[in-house]
Structures are given as C-alpha cells and as structure tokens.
Structure 1
C-alpha cells in the first residue's frame, strides 16, 4: 500500500530550493540593497528550516513506539543515506575546494581546515545542511528515545537559543574585550553556530512534534504563519537598526514559529497528488546540491549581473536535475545523487 502523499509539501520543497539559490546569489543586490536584504533575511531564510522540519516529520512519521529495534534500524538507514549523499557531493565539489585554496595560496594547514569544515560547517559552504541533518537527527533521536517529546523540545530550544546568541550577535562579540577571544576560539574550532548542534535540532524536533500530534486547520495555521512572518520582519528590522545584521545572520527567533505554522498548514492542505510532484521533490534536492557548481562559473563571466546569474543558475540547475531524474532508470548510479 502506498504511503500518504503531501502535494503541497513537495511544491514547497521546490520553491524552497529556488529561495536557497537566492541566498547565494543575491539577485536584487544591484536593484535595491534594502529590498535584497529583507528578501534574503525573511522569506529566503524560511527555506532551510523548512527542509529540516519536513525531514523530521517524514522520519518520525514512520516511528512505532512499540518497535524499538525497527526504529533503530530506520534511524541507521536514514543516517547512512544522508552520509552517503554528503560524501558523494563532497567529492563532486572537491575541485572547487582545491580551486579556493589554490587561489588563496595553499598551505599544509588548509588540510586541517578542510577536515574541520567537513565535520562542522560542510565540505563546501552550501552543503552544511547535510552534516547538520546527520548530527541534528542523532541529537533528536537519542533525546526522544530516552527522555520523550517534552524533554527533546526543551533541549532543542535551549541549543537554538545558545546558537541564536552566538550567530545573531556575532558583531558585538567581536568587539568586546575578552569575549572576542572566546568568540574567536569558537569560530576557529566550530566555524559557526549554524550547524547540527545548535541550528538543526529545534527544527527537526518541530517535525517530530508535527508527526506525533494532530494538524491545526489550514486557515488557523496560515494566520499564525502570517503573524509570525510579520514579527520576523520586525525582528530583522531591529537587527538592521542595531547595525548587527550581516551575511551569515540566520538564526532568528521568529523563524521557529513561522516555520512550524507554515509546515503545519502545508501538511493540512488536501490536493490530488500527481507524479510531477514527486519529480519536483527530486528536483529540489538536486537544485540545492548542484547550483553552486554553476554559480561560481557564472559569476566569473558576469560578475555584476546578479539577477541574470540567478536565472541562468536556475536554468542550468533545473536542466541538470531533469537529466539526472530522467536518466536514473537507465543509469542507476545516478540514484546516488538523490
């Protein structure tokens, strides 16, 4: 019997991939710096938390409280699948890593830097989602199996709040005496709080919550999402006014309720499922993982044409995704990319 399908979620996955590309291209930078900042730091910042929440929901939807061994086997298969995906894409991006180090003057210490990044922040900067998913899922899984849902939500929220203080207020920590030393040590060892320890668990735990509880009605969820999003815009405005907004700011407080209510509403949407939605699900992952391959080259050719680079990146990423999805039956090795 075929499992329940969620058309709205698969459509939103695809849209989220397009928003992730925006984060790395800044399409409106040459048109309006203010609009570009708000667009990136509000709407686009929902994309990765959305992926985490959806990942948590679909993982724990298969959870059986009475089947401990089956749950553990499911967890191990999941972690291995994500790890394999991460290793494959890390190999694909290795020439770009070498390119980066060579352009800056390669040194032996770069090997250790790469090992740190591979574990903490991603083997290439946009791939951080995959190791964060592995670590975050381990934290949520272990916490839930041992302490239950309530403890897991509290732990995940505490980790996120710690990460929020590190991530959002980084410009302040860099200026404070003594604190700047501790912050410098943190960045040298962990790189960023946007990882599987601080960032991932809360959104995966929200996915767990959605998997173990009943849905709110669509209208109530979307109203709550709209209120949360307005508050997110206000939060971002506050950080801009305080002069602490910077490129890597992403762990905003209102992202948590906004993402929760958004996913809750999308899960409650009922619409006929079509095969195209499954293809969009595959496309979203392939666009997410592959788009930087094209961004780097396009910006070399068109350094000041952000909007053009954005649409060209989408076209090339979608073409790549279509070739993989269509070719995976004939060439099964391509299944390793998704």
Structure 2
C-alpha cells in the first residue's frame, strides 16, 4: 500500500479555507492593504498546491513499463473529475442563469458559456476542474513522449507566456495595436489562468517530486521561506506600479515557493488516521460548494466581509460533514467526492 501523507491532507484543508478567503475578502473592512497582500501571497499558494499534489499522487504510481495501466489510471482520474465537474455545473446552473440574464440576455452568452465550460469553468471558481483535467493530459503526454526535463521546460514556457498575459494585462490593454490582439485573446480564451498556461507547470512540479528524492526538511523550509519573501516582494512590485488586479494570480516566485512547500510537507511524518481522509474530502467539498453560500451572504452583508467568511465556511463545512457522514447511507453523495 502506498504511503498516506497526513501533512498533505491537512494542508489541503487549509488550502480550501484560503480559497474561501479569495472569494470573500475577509479583512477588507479591517485593512484593505492587509487584505490585498494576504490574498495575493498566502491565499495564492492554495490552488497551485492543489495542482501540485494532484500531479504528485498521480505520477508516483506511473509505471514506465506499463503504458496501458498508466492510460487506464489517467482515464479513471479524468472520468472522476469530469463527473464532479458536471454535477457541480448542474448545481450552480440557477446561479449561472441569473448571472447571464439579470441585466438582459444576449445570444452570444451561449457561446461564452460553451467556451467557459471547457476552458474557464462553468462557474467561476470551478475553473480548477477543467484546468486540472487538461493539465493532466498535457503533462502526461509530454512526459510519456519526451521525459521529465522536456516536460518541465515546456510547462515553464507555457507558464511564462501565461504570466506575461495575466500579470501585465493593464499594460497590454494600454498599448495601441497590441490592445487589439490582446482583446482578441481575451475574447477567445478569456484568461491565461487555465489548463493550458497555468495548470501544467504545477502538475509538472508534482511529477518532479514524484520522480526525484526529497530534499532535506531544513533545506525545503529555508527554500520556501526565501521563495515566499521573494514572492511577497514580487506582489509589492506589481502593486507599486499599479498593475496588481484581483485576477492577478500567475507569479514567477510561486513556482519555487510551491516546490519547496510541498517538498517540506512530504517530509513530515504524522501517523495517518481516518480523520485526515475526512479532511481531504472536506477540502474538496468546501472548494466546490462555498460559492453557493458566499454569493448570498455577500449580497446580504456587503460591508461585513469577515462575518461573510465565517458564515460561508460554516455552511460549506456543514455540507461537507453531511456528505461525509451519510455517503454510505446515500451512495449518490459519493459522486460529489
């Protein structure tokens, strides 16, 4: 039996809490500056962490001598992700319809929705699921055909292109001529934060961690702290020059920060207990369900973001607890996991 990592499951749960922060701005009334830095540094670690650990757990079972088994495992993973994505797409359909129609409906919205379903998520926070599926396929094909080093190179190039698009959007939009082509890109793909530019880099980091020896724990911790300081400085630089936006998420220093962070967590030995598996399931449920509650609470209490955060988290956790507790009694609930 493959080793279970309690530290990773705990970090997954914490990451889900950080994702809720991204969508509820909990410290906005306390300090707008602190809220901005907290979301763009600490919270921005969460989604890359999910990608990286997903890549690690998939590729640690990769058998270079049995491609049929590898493809079977990939198909099984993709089917599970697509099932979860489809279920939550249906659950969020009333929200989606409201968002598209409350200011008037236009036929072009249908084409926008189809594009978003495959590339950007059928609802805005669900982008992670199609991005993870696409990134899995890209990294799997690259690694299968060209090996680890080539995979890391190509995924970094894709990420760097996405970084230029994501971070420097205000600049591209202000340059005559360039703004026309940039507008074409945004109308076609909408964002670089997807399974083409964003996801493959972190899946590839998970692949790297699964194929190489762990760094010493102390080295990983020091590496993470240095990377995080540089990450903070990077965010400060973009804010200073006025290009930091809510959707800015592709930072260069995220790459070493995530590598060292996951390396460090993989070196922590905690005896595995059932509660850690529950945390893993809860993290997925909190991630997928929290917008159901956040949208309502933000509309009711637009100037009480910290209260909204805790209410959203409480409701999402109650739903997660319900699914975990009754999934054996009602097998349909297992489809959410």
Q: TM-score with structure 2 length normalisation?
A: 0.99
Deviation at 1:271, TM superposition (A): 1.1
The count of corresponding residues between Structure 1 and Structure 2 is 337
Task: Give the aligned partner of residue 90 of structure 2.
Answer: 91
Q: Does 1:37 align with 2:39?
A: no
Instruction: Encode CA deviations 1:223-246: one digit per residue, 9 max, x unaligned.
Output: 100000000000000001111000
CA shift for structure 1 position 282:
0.2
In the other structure, the counterpart of 2:137 is: 138
Confirm or deny that 1:15 pairs with 2:30.
Answer: no
Is the partner of 2:117 in helix, strand or coil?
helix
Q: Which residue pairs with 1:289 in the alignment?
A: 288
Deviation at 1:3, TM superposition (A): 2.5
**1:56-135 → structure 2 map (5 Å cutoff):** 56-135=55-134
Return the alpha-carbon distance in structure 2 between the equivalents of residues 262 and 195 of structure 1.
Answer: 22
Residue 204 of structure 1 is matched in structure 2 by 203
1:112-148 Cα offsets, whole Å, 9 max, x none, are 1111111121000000000000111110000000000
3-state SS in 1 of match to 2:303: coil
For 1:104, what is the secondary structure of its paired residue? coil
Q: Distance in 2 between matches of 1:84 and 1:60?
A: 21
Structure 1 runs (4+) greater than 6 angstroms displaced: none
CA distance in 2, matches of 1:80, 1:47: 24
TM norm structure 1: 0.99
Distance across 2 between alignment mates of 1:328 and 1:216 = 39
101-110 or 6-15: bigger deviation: 101-110
1:141-290 map, 5 Å: 141-290=140-289
What is the SS of the residue equivalent to 1:156?
helix
Partner of residue 304, structure 2: 305
The Cα offsets for residues 128-178 of structure 1, whole Å up to 9 and x where unpaired, read as 000000111110000000000010000000000000000000000110001
Structure 1 portions without partners, runs of 5+: none
